[in-house]
């Protein structure tokens, strides 16, 4: 099948035997977590998804081994608007920028979200951004969840985007996070290697019990212990959706504040049982990012201190 004559990005997927019987729209959502099921169904209905060169229906049942091609066209009506939203720029040059994203900010437009995103802010701050990741996500090479703060690298041209993306795919990028989790983590150091896939019942969640799971690897070490809580440094070896949150929850150590993956709404302070102030976010922060400059390959490393609300929460624990 020939590539479409325009410059719209095209993605090729090859289902495996384990995908047999899965609906096409659900299969695509597992592989395109940034797009809602409604958006995927719209792509199928418009003929932008083809199996062995032919149009198909959302209800098509995967057999395994088919050649599936998806044209990642942008939804027409939604326009990306530049917005004067404050950004913390850690580093910038003509090829890239490193930003320190605050918790509560969505990275790019999605279902029900059109304004106030990191992309809206980037469009106001920079004249040019890469378009290699699609028109809906200019400059975005990787993501952080809405309630996760910390460092992200942004591509300012397509060359940088492709080279940075290759570094992420080949696991040459070092990403370290700080997380406060429930429970007493037994080992001082350890690794979690459970595969991750989308939850078939609650589609906004990921799980380690999915039949369509992909390999995932997280390393951790203990930084500090509190009664009933543990502060961890985590090294993300792969980049699955919600990876740290899912892995820690699967070990019965959900991230503080992460009610989607089993954390209680309130945290009690040690033996006193006194409720601590509400955090209002997940205690998860992308604290360190190391990669090579996409043009001249110079090693670059950036660090971000814990935001005030997270540091203050730790102080409450230490005082208690």
Separation of alpha carbons 119 and 106, rounded Å: 9
Separation of alpha carbons 191 and 177, rounded Å: 14
Decide: 11 and 44 in contact? Cβ < 8 Å: no
Separation of alpha carbons 192 and 94, rounded Å: 38
Active site residue 145: yes
Go through 195-232 and write b for each residue having 16 or more CB atoms within 10 A of its CB, e for each that does not.
Answer: bbbbeeeeeebbbbebebbeebbbebebeeebeebbbb
Catalytic residue among 25, 30, 145, 258: 145
Give the contacts of 53 (CB within 8 A, at least 6 positions apart): 1, 67, 69
Backbone angles phi and psi of 221, in degrees to 5: -145, 150
Backbone angles phi and psi of 162, in degrees to 5: -60, -40
Separation of alpha carbons 271 and 174, rounded Å: 37
Would you name the residues annotated as active-site residues?
145
């Amino acid at each position: 099948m020939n590539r479409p004559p325009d410059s719209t990005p095209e993605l090729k997927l090859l289902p495996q035997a384990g995908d047999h019987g899965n609906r096409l729209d659900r299969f695509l959502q597992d592989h395109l977590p940034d797009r809602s099921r409604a958006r995927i169904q719209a792509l199928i209905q418009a003929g932008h998804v083809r199996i062995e060169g032919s149009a198909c229906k959302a209800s098509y049942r995967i057999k395994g081994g088919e050649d599936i091609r998806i044209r990642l066209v942008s939804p027409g009506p939604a326009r990306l608007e530049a917005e004067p939203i404050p950004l913390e720029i850690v580093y910038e040059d003509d090829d890239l920028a490193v930003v320190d994203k605050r918790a509560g900010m969505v990275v790019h437009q999605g279902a029900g979200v059109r304004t106030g995103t990191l992309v809206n802010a980037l469009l106001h701050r920079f004249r040019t951004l890469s378009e290699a990741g699609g028109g809906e996500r200019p400059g975005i090479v990787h993501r952080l969840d809405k309630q996760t703060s910390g460092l992200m690298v942004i591509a300012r041209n397509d060359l940088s985007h492709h080279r940075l993306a290759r570094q992420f795919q080949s696991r040459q990028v070092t990403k370290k996070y700080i997380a406060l989790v429930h429970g007493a983590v037994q080992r001082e150091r350890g690794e979690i290697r459970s595969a991750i896939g989308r939850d078939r019942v609650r589609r906004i969640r990921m799980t380690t019990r999915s039949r369509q799971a992909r390999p995932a690897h997280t390393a951790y070490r203990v930084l500090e212990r509190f009664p009933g809580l543990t502060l961890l440094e985590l090294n993300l070896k792969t980049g699955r959706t919600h990876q740290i949150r899912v892995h820690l929850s699967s070990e019965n150590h959900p991230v503080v504040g992460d009610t989607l993956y089993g954390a209680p709404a309130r945290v009690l302070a040690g033996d006193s049982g006194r409720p601590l102030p509400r955090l209002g976010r997940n205690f998860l922060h992308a604290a360190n990012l190391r990669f090579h400059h996409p043009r001249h390959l110079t090693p670059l490393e950036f660090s971000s201190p814990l935001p005030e609300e997270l540091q203050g929460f730790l102080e409450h624990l230490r005082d208690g």
